Copies of this chain bind each other. A is one copy, B any other.
């Protein structure tokens, strides 16, 4: 079946370069006898001789020349592949396919990716849209390599790294009656229309961290895709919404809406990067997490109230 092997190609190349079995064997750190046997065996399997030994330097037959040709094609490729693999092994490169749970995270993730790519140009980067429903199993499985999530679930083989914290605030119209309050109670929203991204409520801080614990349901939930749309609806009094403070910052500065904390303390989710533990230490992955933190801190300076790590 498999006749020729890498080792044979290396032997032939060494033979071409040295001109004799003895010298070739020294280059290959083998005895001359080993090469003699090796080549004899190969020639036997192939059914033709590869070179004539009675001359110095040895003279290759057509078959030998054909094999050298093959070696010249194959060995360099093998070599570069092995160099690449060394870099994979050293964690100097790899693949980061991400998923985000937090819908407005693109705002800081895309700049982070850009910054990272400058330094780690050959890491394969992608944001997956396919695993919104269950990103962590996909991460464990290897479909994903990094998940941005607000609630770390303790799972074997997954490590979490905090990126930053932000306040999830309620945005309301400037003429809304709730502007009177200095912070919002869950019950305040029982009669309100809540506008959210079109995602499951279990992935929204407002519900998981505020309304559900208090057993309150809003009068109605409306959906909009884009942050701008949501804020516009809020500004025109069609409902209220809950967004990260940094996502609202721009609209607040332009005086479109009012914002209030949820509860006296406010709700302060932390975003984590979840990665597989075996990759957590790899330089290319650690670097990504570092860059993400730095970019967040730089982009959101003065907006987010807390920086981590």
Contact A4 B95, beta carbon cutoff 8 Å: no
A: interface residue count bin: 35 or more
List B contacts of A34 (CB < 8 A): none
Q: Which residues of chain A (75-96) have a CB below 8 Å from chain B?
A: 77-78, 81-82, 84-86, 88-90, 93-95
Contact B54 A69, beta carbon cutoff 8 Å: no
A141 at the binding interface (Cβ < 8 Å): yes
A285 to B40, CA, bound (A): 24
Contact A67 B85, beta carbon cutoff 8 Å: yes
- Output the nearest chain B residue to A43 by Cβ-Cβ distance: B89
- Output the nearest chain B residue to A143 by Cβ-Cβ distance: B59
Q: How far is the CB of A166 from chain B (nearest CB, A)?
A: 32
A6 at the binding interface (Cβ < 8 Å): yes
Q: How far is the CB of A7 from chain B (nearest CB, A)?
A: 7
26 cross-chain CB contacts under 8 A? A2-B7, A4-B81, A5-B7, A46-B88, A47-B86, A48-B85, A48-B88, A48-B89, A49-B278, A54-B141, A55-B142, A59-B142, A61-B88, A61-B95, A62-B94, A62-B95, A63-B88, A66-B81, A66-B84, A66-B85, A67-B81, A67-B85, A69-B81, A70-B78, A74-B74, A74-B78
Q: Within the oligomer, what is the number of copies of this chain?
A: 2
- Output the nearest chain B residue to A84 by Cβ-Cβ distance: B66
A203 at the binding interface (Cβ < 8 Å): no
A238 at the binding interface (Cβ < 8 Å): no
Contact B78 A63, beta carbon cutoff 8 Å: no
Q: How far is the CB of A33 from chain B (nearest CB, A)?
A: 20
> What 5 A-B pairs have minimum CB-CB distances, sorted nearest first?
A47-B89, A70-B81, A63-B88, A48-B89, A52-B142
- Output the nearest chain B residue to A8 by Cβ-Cβ distance: B6
A5 to B55, CA, bound (A): 31
Q: How far is the CB of A253 from chain B (nearest CB, A)?
A: 43
Please tell me which one of the listed residues B2, B48, B142 contacts residue A61 in the complex, with CB atoms under 8 A apart.
B142
Q: Which residues of chain A (140-169) have a CB below 8 Å from chain B?
A: 141-143
A69 to B78, CA, bound (A): 10
